[in-house]
Amino acid sequence: MLESHVTISAEDCIGCGLCVEMCPATPGVFEMQDITAVVVHAEACERCRLCTDNCPTDAIKLARDEDIVAGLGDV
C-alpha cells in the first residue's frame, strides 16, 4: 500500500490547530483528535503548503512525488 504524502509528527505537534484552519481542501486533510492534529483525508491534499508554511513546529511533512513513486518498489 502506498504511504500518505502528508504526515504529522505526533511528537512535534503542539495541538494549535492551524493546519485544520488553514487547509482549503474539502474534506479537510486534518482534524484534531484529543490534543494533536492527525491526517484523516490525505487523498484530499492539494499540496498548497499552507499547512507546512503555518505549522509553528514544522510537524507536518509533504513527501515529494519521486519519493512516493520510489516507495512503490518496496511493495
- Assigned CATH topology for domain 6-74: Alpha-Beta Plaits (3.30.70)
Per-domain residue ranges for the chain? 6-74
The amino acid at 9 = S
Q: What is the pTM of this model?
A: 0.78
| End-to-end Cα, the chain, rounded Å | 7
Neighbour tally for 16: CB within 10 Å = 15
Please name every residue paired with 22 in a beta bridge, in sequence order, or none if there are none: none
pLDDT single digits (tens) 39-49: 999 999 999 99
pLDDT single digits (tens) 20-73: 999 999 999 999 999 999 999 999 999 999 999 999 999 999 986 555 444 445
| 20 in Cβ contact with 30 (< 8 Å) | yes
